[in-house]
Amino acid sequence: MRPGWVRVDCHLHTVASGDAVTTLAQLAERAAREGIDVVCITDHNETSAAMRAAGSLSALRVIVGEEIRTQAGEVIGLFLTERIPYVLPVAEAVGRIREQGGLVYLPHPFDRARDSLGAAADRLCADGMADIVEVFNAKIADQALNEQAAALASRWDLPGGAGSDAHDPPGIGAAYLEMPDFDGPGGFLTSLRSARVTGAYRAHAPRFLA
């Protein structure tokens, strides 16, 4: 990796999500092993673990995020300062993200197996309500869906994100970006324009572990 660049996993979960098993200690250990410098903790409808991690994981940079279920499908807010309620109209969720100075990230926009935006993703981009499109999600087996997301980003000249969407420690590092180092949301967006995607499909972990 080039000097002055970092590896960023834009989308992963901790035990606070309710459907994930990763503790903050496990997250830090696995990220270090995989060479991940920055993680966006995007728990479902929750920011408590991300905020705690941002203040306690000195060896790992944390961007506070939240994967928010809206009436149109899931969106992610990055660089948040407070939790956003779920099941709001998508325009209101986007407005609340931006009121905090955050960025609107569209996760797995075309994955029909999850609560994705589908056609609403194109409308959000057209209306200037999206900042980043997730062009590689490691939980998507059908790569045509990631390619469709990449085409959406290209059509609206939006930068692409990539995330492991890890719900367990072994999933961390399955997908990430290599990008110039940055400071804050504006720098993050600028650096994304030069980012390189690395990723491979990894199936979801078992929901309940023995």
* 5 CB neighbour count, 10 Å cutoff: 17
Half-sphere exposure of 210 (CA within 13 A, CB side): 0
Q: Where are the alpha helices (DSSP H) in 16-142?
A: 24-34, 48-56, 90-99, 119-126
Q: Measured in Å, how far apart are the chain's first and last C-alpha atoms?
A: 38
The model's pTM:
0.96
The pairing of strands 5-12 and 38-41 is: parallel
- The residue to which tokens 């309500």 are assigned: 129
Domain positions in the chain are 5-199
Q: Taking each helix axis from N to C terminus, what angle separates 119-126 and 90-99, rounded to the nearest 10 degrees?
A: 50
DSSP 206: P
pLDDT (tens, 9 = 90+) of the chain, 210 residues, equals: 789 999 999 999 999 999 999 999 999 999 999 999 999 999 999 999 999 999 998 889 999 999 999 999 999 999 999 999 999 999 999 999 999 999 999 999 999 988 999 999 999 999 999 999 999 999 999 999 999 999 999 999 999 999 999 999 999 999 999 999 999 999 999 999 999 999 999 987 665 443
Please tell me whether residue 157 adopts helix, strand or coil conformation: coil
What's the CATH number for 5-199?
3.20.20.140
